[in-house]
């Protein structure tokens, strides 16, 4: 089966087929530091929201009947996932801004 391609070869073909016209830009030290700081800042925000969600779930489980608590806990998890996606999108937007400004 000499005609079979490895996953790497297939991925490289797909990458080349997309017509990747973007020029690869190298980041300077200031940009790298700014991106690193943004990632740390948003990781901390997300971790804080997760801790708050877990605390809310614990309180919910202590104060509500089990059925009601499970529904409420699921709602809190869904809300957290939405908040996490929003924060990640916000972070990516800021990172893109840092990358485009020299």
Which two tokens mark 6? 């490895």
pLDDT digits (tens, 9 = 90+) for 11-45: 777 777 765 555 556 888 899 999 999 999 999 99
Statement: residue 97 has pLDDT above 50: yes
Q: Which burial class, exposed, middle or buried, applies to 20 when counting CB atoms under 10 A from its CB (0-12, 13-18, 19+)? A: exposed
- Residue 41 tokens read as 């800042």
* Among the listed residues 34, 37, 36, 40, the one whose alpha carbon sits nearest the alpha carbon of residue 98: 34
Q: What phi-psi label fits residue 19: left (phi over 0), alpha (psi between -120 and 50 degrees) or beta? A: left
């Amino acid at each position: 089966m000499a005609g079979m391609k490895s996953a790497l070869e297939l991925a490289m073909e797909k990458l080349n087929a997309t017509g990747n016209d973007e020029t690869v830009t190298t980041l300077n030290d200031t940009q790298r530091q700014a991106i690193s700081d943004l990632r740390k800042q948003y990781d901390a925000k997300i971790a804080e929201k997760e801790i708050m969600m877990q605390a809310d779930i614990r309180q919910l489980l202590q104060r509500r009947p089990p059925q009601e608590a499970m529904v409420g806990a699921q709602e809190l998890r869904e809300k957290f996932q939405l908040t996490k996606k929003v924060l990640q999108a916000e972070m990516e937007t800021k990172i893109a801004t840092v990358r485009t400004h020299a």
